[in-house]
Amino acid sequence: MPNFYLTTPIYYVNDLPHIGHIYTTVVADTLARYRRLVGDEVYFSTGTDEHGVNILKIAESKGVTPQQQADRVVSRYHDLWRQLGISHSDFIRTTEARHHRAVAEIIRRIEANGDLYLAKHEGWYCASCETFYTEREIGAARMCPVHESPTELQSEENVFFRLSKYQDRLLAWYAQSGSVEPESRRNEVRRFVESGLRDLSVSRANLAWGVPFPGHDGQTVYVWLEALTNYLSVLGFGGDDQTLFETFWQGSESTRVHMVGKDILRFHAVYWPAFLMAAGLPLPTTVYAHGWWLRDDKKISKSVGNAVRLDELLTHFGADPVRYFLLREMAFGQDASFSDEAFVDRFNSDLANDLGNTLSRLVKLSSKAFDGKTPPESCSNNSVKDTAEPAIAAYRDAMEEYAFHKALRSLWRILAEVNQYLVSKEPWKKLKEDIVDDAVSRVLWNGLEGVRLVATGLLPFMPTMAAQVLKAVGVDSENVDAGALAWGGLPLSVPLPEKRTLFPRIDKAAFLAGETKPPVSQAEKEDSNMISIDDFFKIRLEVANVLGAERIPKSRKLIKLEVEVGEERRTVVAGIAEAYEAEELIGKQVVIVTNLEPVKLMGVESQGMVLAASVDGKPVLVHPGAEVPSGTQVR
Ligand code: MSP
């Protein structure tokens, strides 16, 4: 089985994730799911880039340690990836010991190859890029070409990497198509390398928050050399178990793809392959640089307040429509603009209308004709098949070329044909007269089979909703493999589940005016971690007065509280002793879950749970904003 290794960039932890980070990760996830569908052994990694001066600065400004800052942002990434259905195999953090080991190992190899030396270094430095620029790149104004902010002249003794030595080998690599994609980006990188490479400083003096440079006290590893090595750390490079590394990086059977935004192409397509050459390691098969998302045609910048309100979209619509929009709207490789209007239009026309309506129409007709089942007769000679077969071939080609928007367009050709076919065959006419013959069976089977193929192709893009569509046409998505991407898979006479609307239309005017909360479809609700208001009300939350408090002997964390909830007295054990003294709690009001099953903790029965915010694992108790009668319900 071919081995497919796929990575996203590792994201900085100085800010919360936004649409750009989501985009690369969703693209990579779609590709990972597709490769699994067609039978590859896939290893898919993502993670966070936690060192460097920017993280130090932001942590200082917030009064936390860089590690605390990183932990906070990382937990947000974990939540978001779960919410978006990202199926990564591992999540690497550059503060992990396994990463430090891998960095030490790659440096050892580069050094053994004679490619490192010490030299004095002076240059124009952009702290946001963590990189030095030449006079030519920054122009007379000395502005960073990426951030358009001032650069600083810096001078220090550093370890240098003989990048210039690799110029010819890099050019030979770009001569192979596929090395850097799309082609326009490959040409851009080639021109940069042809213009001449200078050796690269790969250490920094006096930067406390980084990986110490082996053999050079007081120096840390240049963040890009360090960060790029994550692609090997996650595979165990430099550690005791080399299995993943050998399977997915060294192995001649492996394909290695880095998915990145165009902003970090140079690091991935010039520095990284040169580091790998120096370390005697195989190069990536492909570095793919995609374009940028703009917001309403403007560059996304949080300071201007124009970032996409992702939480809102995800809460209202669920992950899959957002995934679909991102992959359909951007011609992969180019820039695209995110607008609320475009999102609603795509949702209504592609999902609610083309997919949702076609599906529900067919399911309704088939249920009516065949007593709640799929048709009993299949058909191998018809216009839906004639359209679907080349469309599926085009879909597969597009997926191989990372042309995700084209792959989706091909699937939609099938839907268009299914609709035309139904209109021309008019199966409803016979059904109205209660005629259910083989012809009706074949027409409906063909239509449903078209939808089944579309849903199968959609599995990598919209994993939850595509599985729901498959279920709606009588197919269990659990056992779907590459064979399902061929005509003929719709089972005969199997029960169709009860009809429900998978993609309810959005009221565009109301949505754009911000008046209504668009509905989340039933299926998304079931498959996401959202709960209904009724679910929420199952939890009884009440205000309690703390009458007594004492530490539980021999326990580091536990305090026993005697509380009054309305008329009732209860004993509640809380894990707050590391943050609170027992005495200071007496007389306070807290909020308690009063309908939890009792549990025994260190021999004491706890009849409830005290609510506390968890700040880096430390509890901070929740109190009502003003004194209220005990037993007051919280909702
Ligand atoms: N930490 C480095 C990458 C190190 S990889 C060894 C970094 N991190 S980042 O948090 O700034 O993420 C950059 C990546 O996020 C881009 O390469 C791109 O994949 C994605 N995007 C950030 N903003 C984006 C848009 N507006 N549009 C699309 N993707 C963009 O750079």
Residues 423 and 480: their CA atoms lie apart, in Å, by 30
Where b means 16+ CB within 10 Å and e means fewer, 475-507 reads: bebeebeeebbebebbeeeeebeeeeebbbbbe
Position 246 pLDDT exceeds 90: yes
Distance of alpha carbon 303 from the chain centroid: 23
Least confident of 79-83, 297-301, 313-317, 371-375: 297-301
Is it the case that residue 566 has pLDDT exceeding 80?
A: yes
Distances (CA, A) of 212 to 86, 219, 589: 33, 6, 49
User: Which helix or strand (DSSP H or E) is residue 614 part of?
Assistant: strand 612-615
Query: 263 alpha carbon to ligand 1 midpoint, in Å?
Result: 7
| pLDDT score of 538 | 76
pLDDT tens digits, one per residue of 274-301: 999 999 999 999 999 999 998 878 777 6
Q: Which of 275, 333, 261, 286 has its CA nearest to residue 8?
A: 261
Q: Stretch 35-53: mean pLDDT, rounded? A: 96
User: Given phi > 0 = left and psi -120 to 50 = alpha, else beta, which region is 148?
Assistant: left
Closest CA to ligand 1's atom 7: 11
Structure token pair of residue 475: 């197919």
- pLDDT tier, 303 (very low <50, low <70, confident <90, very high otherwise): low
What distances in angstroms separate CA 570 from CA 47, 209, 594, one per listed residue? 45, 48, 9
Are 116 and 159 contacting, i.e. CB atoms less than 8 angstroms apart?
A: yes
Amino acid identity at 126: C
Supply 526's token pair.
């079931």
pLDDT at 530: 64
Sign of the CA dihedral running 448, 451, 456, 457: positive
In 10 A of CB 515, how many CB atoms?
9
Residue-level pLDDT at 300:
77
Nearest CA owner, ligand 1 atom 19: 261
Question: Is there an atom of ligand 1 within 6 Å of 12 CB?
Answer: yes
Alpha-carbon distance 531 to 209, whole Å? 41
More confident position, 521 or 433: 433
Does residue 260 have its Cβ closer than 6 Å to ligand 1? yes
Residue 519 has pLDDT above 60, yes or no: no
The strand pairing partners of 156, in sequence order, are 121
Decide if pLDDT at 517 tops 60: no
Mean pLDDT value of segment 200-211: 90
Structure tokens at 242: 């080399």
Ligand 1: which of 7, 24, 55 to mutate, judged by most atoms within 8 Å of the beta carbon?
Answer: 24
Query: How many helices and strands (H and E) does the chain possess?
Result: 24, 25
Residue 96: CB atoms within 10 Å: 17
Which of residues 374 and 615 earns the better pLDDT score? Answer: 374
Ligand 1 close to Cβ of residue 263 (< 6 A): yes
| Tokens encoding 477 | 């998505």
Stretch 85-104: mean pLDDT, rounded? 98
Taking the C-alpha atoms of residue 633 and residue 543, their distance in angstroms, rounded to an integer, is 7
In order, the DSSP letters of 431-456 are HHTT---HHHHHHHHHHHHHHHHHHH
Q: What is the side-by-side order of every strand in the sheet holding 293-295?
A: 298-299, 293-295, 336-338
Report pLDDT for 511: 85
Of the residues 6, 7, 12, which should be mutated to test ligand 1's pocket, given the most ligand atoms within 8 Å of the CB?
12
3-state helix, strand, coil in the chain (%, to 5): 45, 20, 35
The answer, yes or no, to whether any atom of ligand 1 lies below 6 A from the CB of 261, is yes
Segments of 313-431 assigned E as strands:
336-338
Cα–Cα distance, 504 to 519 (Å, whole number): 7
Determine the pLDDT at residue 557.
87
Please tell me the least confidently modeled range out of 29-38, 162-171, 586-595.
586-595
Residue of the nearest CA to atom 15 in ligand 1? 21
pLDDT band at 145 (very low <50, low <70, confident <90, very high): confident
CA nearest ligand 1 atom 23, residue: 20
Residues labelled catalytic: 18, 21, 126, 129, 144, 147, 299, 302
Q: How far is the CA of 139 from the centre of ligand 1 (A)?
A: 25
pLDDT band at 302 (very low <50, low <70, confident <90, very high): low
| 233 Cβ inside 6 Å of ligand 1 | no
Between β-strands 609-610 and 604-606, what pairing exists: parallel, antiparallel or unpaired? Answer: unpaired
Confidence (pLDDT) at 615? 78
CA–CA gap between residue 428 and residue 414 (Å, rounded): 21
Pocket lining: 227 vs ligand 1, CB cutoff 6 Å: yes
- How far does residue 154's CA lie from ligand 1's centre (Å)? 26
Q: What local confidence, expressed as pLDDT, does residue 510 receive?
A: 87
Whole-number pLDDT of residue 387:
98
Q: Ligand 1, residues 11, 46, 81: which to mutate, most atoms within 8 A of Cβ?
A: 11
* Crossing angle between the packed helical segments 358-369 and 438-458, to the nearest 10 degrees: 140
CA angle 273, 42, 107 (to 5 degrees): 30
